[in-house]
Structure 1
Amino acid sequence: METLKIVKIGGHVLNDEGALDAFLNDFSQIASPKILVHGGGKLATALAKQMNIEVQMNDGRRITNAETLDIITMVYSGKINTTIVAKLQAKSTNAMGFSGADGNSIVAEKRPVKDINYGYVGDIKKVNTTHLQLLLNHGITPVFCAITHDANGQLLNTNADTVASELAIAFAETYMTELYYCFEKNGVLKDINQDDSVIETIDTKNYQQLLKENIIADGMLPKLTNCFHAIDHHVKKVHIGTSAMLLNKNITHTIIQK
């Protein structure tokens, strides 16, 4: 069975032109079929502040009102997605930009209000792989932003880590899927101020201990939740670290396993 790599790029890399170029160089050299997923929360937050729109977060997840959704749509599917596609074309990777609405790729539903009203945030219900498979068969690399739709005309903000995880799960029936979360750190760190304090393996047992010790918190919480969700649904491997790990498995990074 062929390997498919689903790679998610983090916000700090998107904000740094040099880091983005280095990442895209590494990504473009992946020989196997691949899909790229990106967010852009930091750029969206910066634009919101310029427009005096309040930014609200809860446990690393953005609360999305109508104004925030407009900003996210402009930033994610506009500037960032198109720029990444153009840069990949320059690196001989034939890429095509997607939101979940394009080709009905990712259908979600608006998150129900419980303790917190997240607004226009989508929880993924279905990933349609048929047309994406056709693109992969023809050597085209899909590039997804973190926007889905509800099949009734409403766009929804969806966590990019979740988009990557659900894509990997959806393709697990036809590929050996490997999920990569690339960001500016070498992996999940014991000490956020020490780049060499990488936790090389996280499994179900030590994950609970890391939570108790508050080593894993804030924005890393939803990321690890998505990692274990993927592993529980037949994704072969999940890796967290810099883009160097994409090409060199000996590079120190974090591996998530059962």
Structure 2
Amino acid sequence: MIDLFIIKVGGNVIDNPALLQTFIEKFATIPGKKILIHGGGKIATRIGDKLGIESKYVDGRRITDAETIDVVTMVYGGLVNKQLVARLQANQCNAIGLTGADANIIPAVKRPVKTIDYGFVGDVYPEQLNIAPLKALLEAGVTPVFAPLTHDGKGQMLNTNADTIASSLAIALSASYAVRLIYCFEKKGVLSDPNDDNAVINLINKEIYQQLLDNKVLSDGILPKLQNAFGAIDNGVKEVLIGHADDVLSNTTATVAGTLIC
């Protein structure tokens, strides 16, 4: 039996007011212990543009220079995080907004420079997480809401991939709870045909995953989620599910609408 749901909601949902409102209303009604991790969407880019701070990307990944870390800290840890918390409170879900720096829950290491300098980007190691304060919040009936931010323990905030934060939290907490990690985004799940939104693969194990890779069925966008999913499964997480944000409530039940990874 699952006794903790760790749910990551993607930036494309954050950017869509109607989709986000539906997600918030459904997430708030999930019974029991739950954690929400959110992406940043395009809001940081829009605010950075207004401030004259250009967003730079390499292979779709944000370069987080000194100016950009200030922007994403303000936007992800402030604006987006607190708006989500306020909306959850409006739906009778007692939530608290956090970054990885709060209570030292998610310390990270600034990514070493190899061929590309990503700037103030943090890499997370699940065994280094400080989960005692998090467990105390969960046991008190409070729902933590994490922004995609960590810290280096020396006073520097770090931008960290929200999918990675979600899987790291799931791994760290799997010693104490039976965890289902759920990735919510704008698709119904992993698709056998990227052009058909209804071609959902309902169950993927390692054998099926390898077949999908060999047959080049999977889109590039879904591969990081699957890699995170199997990394979590290999490290104690009971179940991982990838599905549409609209299906978040049903995907906390035994009858799932998305793709279950096992």
Shorter-chain TM-score bucket reads over 0.9
- Residue in 1 that maps onto 2:145: 143
| Displacement after TM superposition at 1:49 (Å) | 4.3
- Residue in 1 that maps onto 2:221: 219
Structure 1 CA distance for aligned equivalents of residues 222 and 2 of structure 2? 30
Which letter does structure 2 place at the counterpart of 1:194?
Answer: D
Structure 2 CA distance for aligned equivalents of residues 215 and 73 of structure 1? 37
| Displacement after TM superposition at 1:61 (Å) | 3.3
Which letter does structure 2 place at the counterpart of 1:173?
Answer: A
- Using the TM superposition, name which of 163-172 and 45-54 deviates more: 45-54
- Secondary structure of the corresponding residue to residue 108 of structure 2: strand
Does the CA contact (< 8 Å) of 2:6 and 2:34 recur in 1? yes
Structure 2 CA distance for aligned equivalents of residues 52 and 218 of structure 1? 29
Does the CA contact (< 8 Å) of 1:244 and 1:251 recur in 2? no
1:9-158 matches, cutoff 5 A: 9-50=9-50, 51=52, 53-58=54-59, 60-125=60-125, 126-158=128-160
- Secondary structure of the corresponding residue to residue 208 of structure 1: helix
Structure 2 CA distance for aligned equivalents of residues 57 and 185 of structure 1? 24
Structure 1 CA distance for aligned equivalents of residues 114 and 217 of structure 2? 27
Does the CA contact (< 8 Å) of 1:202 and 1:256 recur in 2? yes
Structure 1 CA distance for aligned equivalents of residues 219 and 68 of structure 2? 24
Instruction: Decide whether aligned partners of structure 1 residues 19 and 244 sit closer, same or farther in structure 2, where only a CA change above 3 A counts.
Output: closer
- Residue in 1 that maps onto 2:194: 192
- Using the TM superposition, name which of 167-176 and 238-247 deviates more: 238-247
Structure 1 CA distance for aligned equivalents of residues 220 and 57 of structure 2? 13
| Displacement after TM superposition at 1:212 (Å) | 4.3
- Residue in 2 that maps onto 1:252: 257
Identity of aligned residues (%): 50
| Displacement after TM superposition at 1:6 (Å) | 0.3
Question: CA deviation digits over 1:165-211, x for unaligned, max 9?
Answer: 01111111111011000111101123333210112222223323433
Structure 1 CA distance for aligned equivalents of residues 175 and 190 of structure 2? 28
> How many residues get paired?
256
Does the CA contact (< 8 Å) of 1:61 and 1:219 recur in 2? no
| Displacement after TM superposition at 1:157 (Å) | 0.8
Structure 2 CA distance for aligned equivalents of residues 96 and 21 of structure 1? 18
- Using the TM superposition, name which of 112-121 and 88-97 deviates more: 112-121
Structure 2 CA distance for aligned equivalents of residues 214 and 44 of structure 1? 34
Does the CA contact (< 8 Å) of 2:76 and 2:147 recur in 1? yes
- Residue in 2 that maps onto 1:242: 244
Question: CA deviation digits over 1:42-88, x for unaligned, max 9?
Answer: 22233344535032032x53332222212211211011000000000
Structure 2 CA distance for aligned equivalents of residues 160 and 142 of structure 1? 14
Which letter does structure 2 place at the counterpart of 1:142?
Answer: P
Q: Which runs of 5+ in 1 are unaligned?
A: none
- Residue in 2 that maps onto 1:159: 161
TM-score by length of 1: 0.92
Structure 2 CA distance for aligned equivalents of residues 158 and 236 of structure 1? 24
Instruction: Decide whether aligned partners of structure 1 residues 97 and 36 sit closer, same or farther in structure 2, where only a CA change above 3 A counts.
Output: same
TM-score by length of 2: 0.91
Q: CA RMSD in A?
A: 1.8
Structure 1 CA distance for aligned equivalents of residues 100 and 28 of structure 2? 23
Does the CA contact (< 8 Å) of 1:45 and 1:55 recur in 2? no
Does the CA contact (< 8 Å) of 2:44 and 2:75 recur in 1? yes
Structure 1 CA distance for aligned equivalents of residues 109 and 131 of structure 2? 18
Structure 1 CA distance for aligned equivalents of residues 228 and 166 of structure 2? 9
Does the CA contact (< 8 Å) of 2:19 and 2:246 recur in 1? no
Which letter does structure 1 place at the counterpart of 2:258?
Answer: H
